[in-house]
Structure formats: structure tokens, C-alpha cells
Structure 1
Amino acid sequence: MTSNDDQPAKGPLIGDLAGAGQIINSEVAKKSYDDALSPAMQEVGGLTKDALKTFRLFTAPLQLAAAYQDRFAEFCERVRTRVPPENQREAPPEIAAPVMQAFATTSDDSPLMSMFEELMAKAIDINTAEKLSPTFPSIIKGLSPLQAKLIKSLARNEQFTDAPWDPQERVIHNFVKVNFEFDEFGGQDHHLTLTQDLGEKKLVTKIESRPNAGELYPQLQVADGLQLLRLTYRLSMFGKWFASACVHAS
């Protein structure tokens, strides 16, 4: 019989790193973690104690290629440092698995990566983990960088535009006031496209109102037949929930 000391050295299994057995009540799921051990994953055995502790917070059932190991470790460290050690727990697999799958194809400087990091920080925090929707990772994956930027902007303040418009022709004339920069979101037309798509995703609400032009802008001359139209863009209730989980408060 061969003693344990004679066994070839192996790095820790993914199941050991993630603590999958503690939170996933499925033998098939547990086996998928253990079977994921590969030559690249064996290198994890050389990580520091703190790094291994960081890995245990994540429950992604996938193999990590060696090319991504350092980058992934840095991602984990950025997430871990946002949560006090006494508040840390294993991330729910329905959040962690899709985030880790998206990690490999999301650049570090993308606004989407910032959202993934914030979501994972919430997922490993005992105070917020149970308040997350399993749909949040897929919502982030479906956003463009400018949409992520727009959601972050709306999480701070709502946006509005004031402009005379023709209710018959439904044409907006020159803007009187805009409380944001269209160019930050790809221009006027692209901003409209972004808000329309986010509206379909139930993240953003557009509100039309007809304020009194004379009260708001005493010097403004509005041509006969035109009205002052205010378009207000704000996060929906679902959008506020999403932003509270995925947008870093800074």
C-alpha cells in the first residue's frame, strides 16, 4: 500500500477552493469541480494562503487557464478587499458561475468589469448576498459599455432635456436645456437608442411632461403651435435594484 506521503503532489481541487460541497447539494455538481483539475489548475497550489482564501469565496465550476490565473487572482483580490473579512461568505453559485464565465471575455478596463466586480463583492457579503437576483450577471453581459456608463450616471442623478416641440408633427426643435452631455453617450441619436434599449430591459423609464415654458424660461420665445416638452430619464424600480447591486457607490 502506498502512503499518502508517496502520492504525487497536487494542487487543491476546485471543489476545495470554492467550498462547493457546502453550498451545492448535488453530487454531479461536486464532481464537476473535482474533475476540473488540470495542469494549469495545479499551479494554483503555489498561491499564498491569502490568495487561496480569496479563491474559496468563489464558486465557479470552470477551469481557469494558466493565462488567466494571475488576472483572475487580481480580480478576486479587488473584490475581496471591498468586504470586511468578518462579513465574507461563499458566493451563491448562480451569481458566481456566470460572472466567472464572463470574466475571460471582459477587459479589465471595461465598465462591465467594474459592474461584475461590484456584483461579486455583494455576492460574498453576508449582508447583501441574499438580496441579489440571478438575472444580474446576464443583464451585465447584455449591456454595451456606454449603457453601463449611462446606468451609473442615472444612479447618481436623473437626466432631462427641455425643448420646444410640435405635437402635430412630433418633431423636437432646438434644445433649451440638457442637464448632461450627449457626447458622453455617443451623441444625441445614440443616447436615444441606449435609453430605448434600457427601457425594453426594464432598467430605465422615460417620462414626458409639459412644463410651463414661461415660468421656467421667461426669455424663451415659443412659436405658435409649439409646446415645451421635457423628457426625463430615470432608473426604474428594477433598475435601482440592479444599480444598487452592480454600481459602485463612488
Structure 2
Amino acid sequence: MTAWHTDGATAPGARPDVSRSEPPVRTDPVWYAAYGSNMSLARLRTYLRGGKPAGGTLTLPGCRDNADPIRSTPLLLRGVLYFATESLTWTGGRAFYDPDCPGEMAVHAHLLTTAQFSDIVAQEMYRVPGADMDLSDAIAQGTMTLGPGRYETLVCAGTHAGYPVLTFTAPWRCRDVRGNPPAAAYLRYLAAGLRAAHGWSARATAGYLATRPGADRRWTPEAVHALLGDDEVVRRTYEETAPAHAPTGDSSSESR
């Protein structure tokens, strides 16, 4: 997909190895492939440490281990980002991932312990965190269904740097659900994460987000670009709360 890069920008994200002929040697930690508001570290920290994000309505309990990601890196997954249902946090459409829809989705992958990933999944499912998940079926088969609701389907997109790349989404397909445009506050978090991870300009980011299914029912690239405002304001949404090491995936930062 090249339609997002309206100003000649290119996405630097790598694509994970999707071969499953050999199981990954290491299964803890794992990459959490965030494609919604958790692309922004400021937002992810409300899942790790607990609290309520700016613009949100729900207060989260946090994870047992509230440390920042070991490292973070941009990745590109096969499939498409779309928006549907109604978020209790943002009062607009939620972000979902359809891995079987033609296209490419930009993510910010965070290297977390299995316990942290398990606690984030539990909070996304409105469950009480505190129990480690058995991720072996998702890693071996590429998907695992935990329940019928949104964010109750785990997807393994392959491996990156020897660790499995995992995320969660709904069990339905993009074409099977009515799209719902996301709220402005939600889009700002997505934009901040994309800008920080992939280095896109505000205009390229706006073009990507506005053309995702569901978002296109309300938003245009021009409207999202106006929402984001100055590139530096969007970037600071992430950078002011970023860890001391740069989230580039450099091996020198692979320690807490």
C-alpha cells in the first residue's frame, strides 16, 4: 500500500518473519504489536502502571510488572487496520486488525514479558489482570480464540529478532461489521505512536489514518491533518514521556 505516503514519506518498519516451520526458541519476552492507542508509550503506560489516559473515561488497574517495555520497534504486518463498535473509553470507534484483508498495517511493537502481555490483554477484555496466559497455541497456529468479544482473539504474525509477534483483535472480519469513526482524542494517540515509531510526517500519518475502513466514514486526510496540528506537538505527545533509551529496536537498549 502506498496511498498513505502522500508526501513521499516511507515507512521504515520491518516485516516480521512469518514462517512457522520452526517454533520460536524464546517465548518470553514477546513482542506486543500495538496498532491502536498503545502505539503511544504515554497510553501504554496506563495499562502498565494503571490510571486514566487524557481524553479517556476508564481508569485501568495496571500490570503486576509496571516497567516500561524492554525496547520498542516499528513493524509492518500484513492485513488492515479498521475502526468499528463503540469504545467505552473514547466514545468512538475502536481500532481492530483484520490479518486476512489485503493490505499492510503499521504497528509499534513493544517487547514485554509474558506476564505484562497477559495483563494488558486481560484489561482490554475488561477482565481482572493477574494470571499468565498460555500463548503456545497462538504461537504455533497463528491464532487463538479466548472468547467471542472484541480483543478476545490472539494473533501471532510470526517472529522478530527471535521473539513471537503477538497482538489481539476481534473474531470477525472487517467486511462483516459496520464501521464507526474513531474519536479525535483516540486518533491523536494513534498519530503520536505512528510518528514516533515510523517517523512519518503529520500529513502522511493523517493520510494513513483517514483512509482506514471505518475512519473514512467521517474523517478526511485534511481533517485529520488539521486535528494533529503542528508536527512537533504530535511528536511531543510521545517524546515527553518516552523512556531514556530511544524506541528504535537497537540491541543496545535490550535491558531494563
- TM-score norm. by structure 2 comes to 0.21
| Higher CA-based Rg | 1
Q: Which structure has greater strand proportion?
A: 2
Q: Which structure has greater helix proportion?
A: 1
